């Protein structure tokens, strides 16, 4: 009886348990290879790498919860960072809302293409991503732009209780996104659309409007992530983070948000981001080449997709 109960409980909670198991194995493995992996300096580096990534991943999580895709997140993130670094001296802190307005507008464009023009989300966001990359490269001429405003940099680099301020931004946004997903009508509508589109329509949900709102949120959080990332680095370029898409999707899915939609959420994405960030840091520690890193991340993305996909609900991508 107890064994049966335990097995049933493990099956019900597999989406949470297996990422925890993977995280423990990764920590123990890298710590065995390099005893300094979990020392303070190493943890601060991990926190820096994880924080901006978590903010962008939270926005992407809502899109995937809805059963859609957003390949434009890395490009929007980099464009927001570039806008800030280029206009911070002219506009001061007004450069921040300007960059957020641009990123949210790009998210709205993605939502409109999907909801009202019926362009599949993967194609719409891929097209927008290419356009954004082109605009960014034209504005920046392909160069890294340096930002010298120390007050702005302090948004991400001020240490509070031994951790950089970008960590507190990330955790606050993650907590807010978790609340929105689990405790508000916005979150329930998003889950409903991802779970069963037809049932969501029949229940009275304005599916088109909700899709636009979700993509706008993804664009906003991508922009905010880019701004804080730029404040952390002290510069912006469209050539930074060119291989960010696969780790972003892998972190969301590794946390337990299924690509088929209707399950998971930001509360699980945190663990997925930690896992992917640790893997990235471990590969850098082992001095693996970028080509090998991309192969590993590709295998991880396929693996977590297979592990979390609900094959009973495979359908046309929304």
CA distance 279 to 35: 16
Predicted confidence (pLDDT) at residue 309 exceeds the cutoff of 70 = no
Of 133, 150, 110, 92, nearest to 244 by C-alpha is 133
Cα dist. 200→139, 142, 163, 228, 285 in Å?
A: 42, 45, 43, 36, 47
**Which residues make Cβ contacts (< 8 Å) with residue 210, sequence separation at least 6?**
66, 186, 189, 190, 193
Report the pLDDT value the prediction gives residue 155, as an integer from 0 to 100: 80
Mean pLDDT (the chain) is 82
Per-residue confidence band for 156, with pLDDT thresholds at 50, 70 and 90: confident
Instruction: Name the token pair of 89.
Output: 């001296």
Instruction: Give me the residues paired with residue 235 across strands.
Output: 146
Q: Percent of the chain beyond pLDDT 90?
A: 34
Predicted confidence (pLDDT) at residue 4 exceeds the cutoff of 70 = no
Could you please report the per-residue DSSP string of 79-113?
HHHHHHHHHHHHHGGGHHHHHHHHHHHHHHHHHHH
* Reported pTM: 0.87
What is the tens place of the pLDDT at every residue in 163-203? 888 999 999 999 999 999 999 999 999 999 988 888 989 88
Could you please report the per-residue DSSP string of 2-14?
HHHHHHHHHHHTH
- Average pLDDT (139-151) is 74
CA distance 114 to 123: 9
């Amino acid at each position: 009886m107890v064994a049966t109960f335990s097995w049933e409980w493990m099956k019900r909670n597999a989406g949470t348990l297996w990422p925890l198991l993977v995280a423990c194995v990764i920590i123990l493995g890298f710590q065995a290879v390099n005893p300094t992996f979990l020392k303070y300096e190493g943890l601060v580096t991990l926190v820096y790498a994880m924080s901006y990534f978590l903010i962008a991943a939270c926005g992407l999580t809502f899109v995937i919860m809805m059963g859609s895709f957003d390949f434009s997140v890395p490009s929007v993130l980099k464009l927001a960072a570039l806008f800030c670094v280029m206009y911070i001296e002219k506009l001061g802190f007004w450069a921040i809302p300007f960059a957020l307005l641009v990123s949210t507008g790009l998210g709205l464009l993605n939502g409109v293409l999907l909801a009202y023009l019926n362009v599949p989300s993967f194609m719409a966001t891929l097209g927008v991503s290419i356009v954004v990359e082109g605009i960014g490269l034209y504005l920046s001429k392909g160069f890294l732009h340096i930002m010298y405003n120390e007050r702005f940099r302090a948004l991400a680099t001020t240490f509070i209780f031994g951790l950089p301020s970008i960590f507190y931004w990330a955790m606050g946004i993650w907590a807010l996104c978790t609340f929105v997903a689990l405790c508000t009508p916005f979150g329930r509508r998003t889950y409903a659309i991802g779970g069963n589109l037809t049932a969501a329509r029949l229940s009275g949900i304005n599916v088109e409007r909700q899709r636009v709102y979700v993509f706008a949120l993804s664009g906003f959080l991508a922009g905010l992530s880019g701004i804080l990332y730029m404040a952390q680095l002290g510069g912006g370029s469209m050539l930074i983070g060119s291989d960010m898409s696969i780790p972003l999707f892998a972190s969301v899915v590794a946390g337990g948000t299924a690509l088929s939609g209707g399950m998971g959420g930001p509360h699980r994405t945190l663990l997925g981001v930690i896992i992917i960030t640790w893997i990235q840091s471990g590969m850098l520690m082992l001095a693996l080449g970028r080509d090998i890193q991309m192969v590993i991340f590709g295998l991880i993305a396929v693996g977590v997709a297979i592990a979390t996909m609900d094959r009973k609900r495979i359908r046309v991508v929304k």
